[in-house]
Structure 1
């Protein structure tokens, strides 16, 4: 008897399942499963008719047989009642996704989240921290061109994601897009026009989909068998966090307004972590916030690069000396997600939160 693997695909919205409305703009469509069942690359209807249609697995779809695995991969689509453009996603949406993975954890061998691309880097980072321990593969994916259109990239993105979730033991949150699988806390959206919309500037991809699915074992955090098959969820996120980008026109009034009422701020600085230090009033606003236990994290505006614990320039050193935390090679999205996560660790003191954030 052929061994089967089961995957849960959580459909949250995004370009993947969008159609144009009467105004000619794209909006998410319901009942995406009906469309997918008609696509032979995503559903083996003959197998379903013969083996599943009259069984308790009739709600599943089946991936057609191929060279990537000898297993039969079955998957179920769990469509949210309210589908969103990812620009509308908030922490509540990611909390729901994480809780659903926890809820259905023991019913499936892996998980795929169909997520809008605009906030995928945020969602993947948040889920990576919330799912403190996960023994199964979790893949976020989506599309630049909707699945309803003939040139959609969503078909291959979704197919590869389902296969990876079913057949590859990569126990963490990841993002598959184009032909590469990235670590969830390392990914950035780098283009809104190219099919290869995502990249991982400071870390190589975990897997590349060539003529076969090729995992780079050196890039994996957890060797096979080293992680227990459990899901430990931290289901709290702070919303009193924000990203403030340094620009030549920045003012102390703007910094003060952003920092007011915040528990944490990601400061996107120039180059190696620099701010306009000649303008002392800007520095003093940041210093005052840190003294009031606002956790400020210093991340570079550069797509590729680091903010080190030993700065190269005086401007970066002064920030470090006043208690701003260097993000090293984290993305702004990951730094914000980690802040949102760490700040809800009520058992930690401010000093401990600073230490965890580094």
Structure 2
């Protein structure tokens, strides 16, 4: 890929820029000066030219929400179209980094500019911190050339934005591209309303895991809360308590009222295939769409992008079943 020589560094907050307070680590502004000072202390790193933008206020990524995703997407579009940036590096907290990477993967479909996202497990300046290695490593990767699309860079690894996940908190090597089976027909042409230049609206969504003993009333409470889409985390290959007539009826009624239902597997290497077990087939008959091997983060981000574009239930279900950016296929 062509080298990216002018980069926007988009700072959203997160551990990488946090500073100690009486209450513990807190998001802090002023990270651009710290970045320039660190770079000046270590010249000759083969880095691109960069400019800095801070989304205010900087946040702990545990507080990340759809409005923040839309603000990031707006800033990235502006950097690509109006500021002439050849790449964007997003600095982000690790708690929801994989969620944001997945959401932006679908919000920025077709963007010609590569986007890398990174953060750190320890704040910049802390003993043994991974902050500068991740940040400068990501800048060098952009400088040498990265394919368009959204990527996650962490601990020296470049990962697909819609296939990565956070594995733990005890190691600096906290992220991996999850080894789920991937399949799905690739969408050949995207409709204009899914293009990265199109705006999105916030939309009420929910994620609900199935578990032994879940009651229909509990699921119905989620479905009746005003949501427009549900990511249902099923067992194994897409099964659940299909002999619970009330639970099945709750799903069917929600689907009949226009709620989009997408099924994913709870297993770290799981893949939904409704045709294997009768229990899975009964759930599919309620209107569930198979998410294949999509992660929770990818399924939620894709559902947000499709429903936020104003698509109908039928249109959303159609595009959920197709691969849009590599979330379902290599």
- In the other structure, the counterpart of 2:218 is 254
Q: Distance in 1 between matches of 2:163 and 2:115?
A: 15
- In the other structure, the counterpart of 2:315 is 352
Q: Distance in 2 between matches of 1:238 and 1:246?
A: 26
TM-score (ref. length: structure 1): 0.80
Per-residue Cα deviation, 1:258-279 (whole angstroms, up to 9, x for no partner)? 0111111000111111111232
Is the contact between residue 248 and residue 286 of structure 2 (CA under 8 Å) also seen in structure 1? Answer: no
1:65 maps to 2:28? no
Q: Which runs of 5+ in 2 are unaligned?
A: 187-194, 322-330
- In the other structure, the counterpart of 1:60 is none
Q: 1:78 to 1:259 in 2, by over 3 A?
A: same
Larger radius of gyration: 1
- In the other structure, the counterpart of 1:319 is 283
Shift of 1:4: 8.4
Q: Distance in 1 between matches of 2:284 and 2:318?
A: 13
Is the contact between residue 19 and residue 148 of structure 1 (CA under 8 Å) also seen in structure 2? Answer: no
Per-residue Cα deviation, 1:79-123 (whole angstroms, up to 9, x for no partner)? 223010001111111111110111121421110000111111111
Shift of 1:286: 0.9
1:82-121 pair list within 5 angstroms: 82-106=57-81, 107-121=84-98
- In the other structure, the counterpart of 2:327 is none
1:129 maps to 2:106? yes
Secondary structure of residue in 2 paired with 1:103: helix
Q: Distance in 2 between matches of 1:307 and 1:179?
A: 31
Is the contact between residue 266 and residue 335 of structure 1 (CA under 8 Å) also seen in structure 2? Answer: yes
Is the contact between residue 174 and residue 181 of structure 1 (CA under 8 Å) also seen in structure 2? Answer: yes
- In the other structure, the counterpart of 2:244 is 279
172-181 or 283-292: bigger deviation:
283-292
Give the count of matched residue pairs. Answer: 304
Secondary structure of residue in 2 paired with 1:146: coil
Per-residue Cα deviation, 1:248-296 (whole angstroms, up to 9, x for no partner)? 1311111111011111100011111111123221111111111212100
Q: Distance in 1 between matches of 2:97 and 2:79?
A: 22
Is the contact between residue 209 and residue 232 of structure 2 (CA under 8 Å) also seen in structure 1? Answer: yes
**Higher normalized contact order (CA 8 Å, seq sep 6+, divided by chain length):** 2
Shift of 1:196: 1.1
Q: Distance in 2 between matches of 1:315 and 1:179?
A: 42
- In the other structure, the counterpart of 2:122 is 145
Aligned-pair Cα RMSD in Å: 2.0
Per-residue Cα deviation, 1:49-81 (whole angstroms, up to 9, x for no partner)? xxxxxxxxxxxxxx8435xx6xx6111221223
- In the other structure, the counterpart of 2:189 is none
279-288 or 294-303: bigger deviation:
279-288
Secondary structure of residue in 2 paired with 1:133: coil
Secondary structure of residue in 1 paired with 2:302: helix
Q: Which runs of 5+ in 1 are unaligned?
A: 46-62, 205-220, 222-230
Q: Distance in 1 between matches of 2:216 and 2:235?
A: 17
Is the contact between residue 141 and residue 175 of structure 1 (CA under 8 Å) also seen in structure 2? Answer: yes
1:231-270 pair list within 5 angstroms: 232-260=196-224, 261-270=226-235
Shift of 1:343: 1.2
Secondary structure of residue in 1 paired with 2:54: strand
Q: 1:80 to 1:287 in 2, by over 3 A?
A: same
1:292 maps to 2:291? no
1:160-239 pair list within 5 angstroms: 160-202=137-179, 232-239=196-203
103-112 or 172-181: bigger deviation:
103-112
- In the other structure, the counterpart of 1:226 is none
Secondary structure of residue in 2 paired with 1:188: strand
Q: 1:12 to 1:124 in 2, by over 3 A?
A: same
Segments ≥4 residues shifted beyond 4 Å: none
Is the contact between residue 18 and residue 123 of structure 2 (CA under 8 Å) also seen in structure 1? Answer: yes
